[in-house]
Chain A
Amino acid sequence: MSVPASAATGVPPVAAAHRITKRFGVTVALDDVSLTVNDGEVHALVGRNGAGKSTLVSVLTGLLAPDSGTVEFGGGPAPALADREAWRQRVACVYQKLTVIPTLSVAENLFLNRQGRGLISWGALRRRARELLDTWEVDVDVQAPAERLTVEQRQLVEIARALSHGSRFIILDEPTAQLDGQAIERLFARMRSLRESGVTFLFISHHLDEVYEVCDTVTVMRDARHIVTSPVAELDKQALITAMTGEATGLIDLGADRPAPDRGGEPALSVTGLGVPGVFEDVSLTVAPGELVGLAGAGGSGKMAVGESIVGLRRAASGTVKIGGATPRPGSVPAALRAGLGFVPQDRHKEGLVPGLSIAENATLTVPERLGRFGIVGPRRRDELGALAIDDLDIKAAGPEQPVSALSGGNQQKVVMARALANDPKVLVLMQPTAGVDVKAKETLLGTASAAAAGGAGVLVISDDIDDLRPCDRVFVLFKGALVAEMPKGWDDHELIAAMEGIRD
């Protein structure tokens, strides 16, 4: 792996922020932060939710003016804020949220607002788009509407668009959050090959393993301040976590003191012969009261579909789901909830939250009967329950009446978790419970799951993140729609990943 040598050879850094301070009202979002990204490196920017990473990115991309401090590109001062084109030639950012126009074709998205003078020649535009994508070896149909791209393809198109503006410095804001394992590997391979051809990356991620896998340098931010910048090789994982959290605690072994589940009696959740044609087949598993069970599988293995069929978001073609001995009507979420199920859906933005409503309203959406009789919602009772959730899950918020859209990702996910727990479920199904949340929030969320199990609920965790599966008593592995392995606690990472990828020894 080539080591960036720009510091030694005197090449000016691709981008540098000097002593940036930015305030929003009374909140200090950036406090005297400096960052130097050297030519040709992959630079990781890590920090917990709310550490100031997004604000720093906004300053670096010219979307926000800092209160004080300066930004430089290649040794020269940053262009004026209004000169978007000049910024785009220096830096590009691939955000988590959509920055393409879903209804327009890939070709048009690539050359939006620079289609050329006069009447647009669609043939020429498509040809230019195809040439551009071919140059960077992105295999996407330029005529397809952007809404039909996968997350992975969309990211590649956005990277190609950034490169076509002439920028050789690209910020990737949590690019792996919505990708499965194989797509992440492909993204990393591409980042490495682009680095070989002179592209510099600032890479933002919550997954520390990824930092070690693909990055040369890492910068840690905490509480709006720059904490440390160091070559990745010189900072071990423990030190990195300490820098992020400010405490000398690592990942605690969660739920180690949980009582052993009682597998003798009636299972909390029992799934028999569940199947959806073409997605998964004949999935049978049980979860005992007090037990934490994991379900792992690569992207496309159908594990999320299994979860959705259990909770009623999707209707299985065959098989039965029993929740605490009862059989709720298949394909009905209300029936599953009545039977004693709580769940965290996989995408909190899409299925988990109503962004404009308050924490209390979101946390109690599933339990209107607890708020008052005859369909009347008692606001005081609701806010009490909301306040309880804020305490229990350590949600960082002004109060139960704050809208969830104002919370950071980790705290939003805690609200979703609070809602799943609101009806004291006998069975808890968690799909991607820690997607896009920081180390600390992850601990709280998994700790809550363990506590629910300790309290007698059966918990099923379905996740791409192996850390989520660690507290589990057993882990099932799904490969191409079929259960291929069951591993007791103490499994080996390599063994699990091999089973997920379908490699049998």
Chain B
Amino acid sequence: MTDTQTALAAPARGRTTAPRLARLRDLALVPAIIVIGIVGYFVNPVFLHWDNLVNVLQQQSEISLLVLAEALVLIAGRMDLSLESTFGLAPGVAAWLVLAPGITHGLGWLSGAWSIPLTLAVGLVIGWVNGLLIVRFRLNGFIVTLGMLIVLRGLLTGISGGKTFFNLPSSMIYLGNAVWLGLPASIWICLVLYAVAIAVTGYTRFGRALYAIGGNADAARAAGIRVDRVLWGTLVVASLLAALGGLLLTGRLASVAASQGNGAIFTVFAAAVIGGVSLNGGKGTIFGAFTGILLLYMIQNVLTLAGVPAQWIGALNGAIILVALIISRITSGQAQE
């Protein structure tokens, strides 16, 4: 055998520009957001006022944490429907335990200072149970979290008697109300968490493991990734984020309604898919998911400013999701999965 054979190479594809295109796909919705900005300006110049933009950002900050949570789970190739119920139940349980019995269904067992740790602890436990059922016992994740969605919603209705918790302790209201450096705290929290998630999913082994598991779990296992542990951890983090999101909304509204978060999961899924996250796992970015939810809320804001009657908002919301889906299909040039 001669050495010349080592010179043989597979047919070259050339060093194409594909990866750069892939990076551009993250920005696929940016033109759409700019277009909505311009349209919004012509509909009502108020749209581009600083106060209005802050308003849009704050309104979407709570649900955007749900989108962040769902995007992480989707990238790892799973789904979590129960996030919307966690969003309501976690602050609901905290309120239940710290509020004195009286007007609302409180127990008054703990002092108000416990409310934030309690909220997060409830999120942690829910995520852990999801992981136990899905990862350890290998139950179908879609149905498990659907069941959890119904159970958790029912628990919130049960402990609240179907009523709204109000008169909440100040620590519980603080995060949703405070203003830090001229911006509402919830915007800061949302942006910082997104920034952290972008760094983690893009630049750490844990983050890349999510993509590997979502793309091909067997290959990930073969590469030595502890698939079960990573999935379980992701489900816990997702529920924690949902609980935090619920806490922010509770603070902004100074109450926990029995229906808090009800139906939000559809918007969350829509935002993630519009933002380029694949329902089949392994594809999409956290930044993309952020642009997805931002686009949805900007369009809604434009419609409100345009004076669309409230009775039509429901139908329009559905239509917006479909239109946004079509826009992202066109701008990304990628089939959605």
Contact = CB atoms under 8 A, between A and B. Distances in A.
Closest 6 CB pairs of A and B: A143-B19, A101-B215, A103-B282, A139-B9, A112-B223, A103-B215
Nearest to B209: A113
Contacts of B18: 141, 143-145, 148
How large, as a class, is the contact surface on chain A? 35 or more
Given A102-B215, A193-B1, A141 B209 contact: no
Contacts of B222: 84, 99
Contact of B220 (A112, A119, A145): A112
A124 to B, nearest CB: 12
A35 interface: no
Contacts of B1: 1-2, 192-193, 195-196
Given A112-B225, A120-B208, A186-B8, A99 B218 contact: yes
A189 B13 contact: no
Contacts of A112: 208, 212, 219-220, 223, 225
Interface string A116-147: 00111010000000000000011111011100
B205 A193 contact: no
Contact of B282 (A98, A102, A137, A195): A102
Contacts of A190: 5-6, 8
Interface in A137-167: 137-141, 143-145, 148, 150, 152-153, 156
A118 B229 CA distance: 19
Nearest to A1: B1
8 contacts: A2-B1, A113-B220, A138-B10, A140-B13, A148-B18, A189-B5, A190-B8, A196-B1
A103 B281 CA distance: 9
A193 B5 contact: yes
Interface of A: 1-2, 84-85, 88, 98-105, 108, 112-115, 118-120, 122, 137-141, 143-145, 148, 150, 152-153, 156, 183, 186, 189-190, 192-193, 195-196
B219 A139 contact: no
A119 B204 contact: yes
Contact of B22 (A100, A114, A145, A150): A145
B2 to A, nearest CB: 9
Contacts of A105: 19
Nearest to A88: B224
Nearest to B205: A115
A139 B16 CA distance: 12
Contacts of A192: 1, 5
A153 B192 CA distance: 41
B205 A113 contact: yes
A140 B10 contact: yes
A186 B10 contact: yes
Contacts of B223: 112-113
A126 B7 CA distance: 22
Interface in B1-60: 1, 3, 5-16, 18-19, 22
Interface string B195-223: 00001001111001101101110111011
Interface residues of B, number: 38
A85 B205 CA distance: 16
B211 A104 contact: yes
Nearest to B219: A99
Given A113-B212, A189-B8, 20 more contacts: A1-B1, A84-B222, A99-B218, A100-B216, A101-B215, A101-B219, A102-B216, A112-B220, A113-B220, A120-B202, A137-B6, A137-B8, A139-B12, A141-B18, A144-B19, A145-B22, A190-B5, A190-B6, A192-B1, A196-B3
A318 B276 CA distance: 38
A120 B204 contact: yes
B105 interface: no
Contacts of A98: 216, 219
Contacts of A100: 216, 219
Nearest to A118: B204
A150 B212 CA distance: 20
Contact of A193 (B6, B202, B208): B6
B276 to A, nearest CB: 12
A104 B223 CA distance: 14
B208 A139 contact: no
A127 B253 CA distance: 52
Nearest to A84: B224
B252 interface: no
B14 A141 contact: yes
A113 B225 contact: yes
Contacts of B205: 113, 115, 120
A183 to B, nearest CB: 8
B283 interface: yes
Contacts of B3: 193, 196
Contacts of A1: 1
Contacts of A115: 205, 208
Contacts of A99: 216, 218-219, 222
B91 to A, nearest CB: 34
A145 B283 CA distance: 11
Contacts of B5: 189-190, 192-193
A99 B222 CA distance: 8
Contacts of A183: 10
A144 B13 contact: yes
A119 B12 contact: no
B215 A104 contact: yes
A153 B11 CA distance: 8
Contacts of A196: 1, 3
Contact of B211 (A84, A85, A103, A193): A103
Contacts of B13: 140-141, 144, 148, 153
Contacts of B219: 98-101, 112
B14 to A, nearest CB: 7
Contact of A137 (B7, B11, B15, B211): B7
A446 B12 CA distance: 37
B10 A152 contact: yes
Contacts of A152: 10-11
B321 to A, nearest CB: 25
B247 to A, nearest CB: 29
Nearest to A148: B18
Interface in B223-256: 223-225
A140 B10 CA distance: 8
Contacts of A150: 10-11
Contacts of B211: 101, 103-104
Interface string B273-304: 00000000011000000000000000000000
A137 B9 contact: yes
Contacts of A189: 5, 8
B228 to A, nearest CB: 14
A138 B7 CA distance: 10
A156 B11 CA distance: 11
A127 B7 CA distance: 21
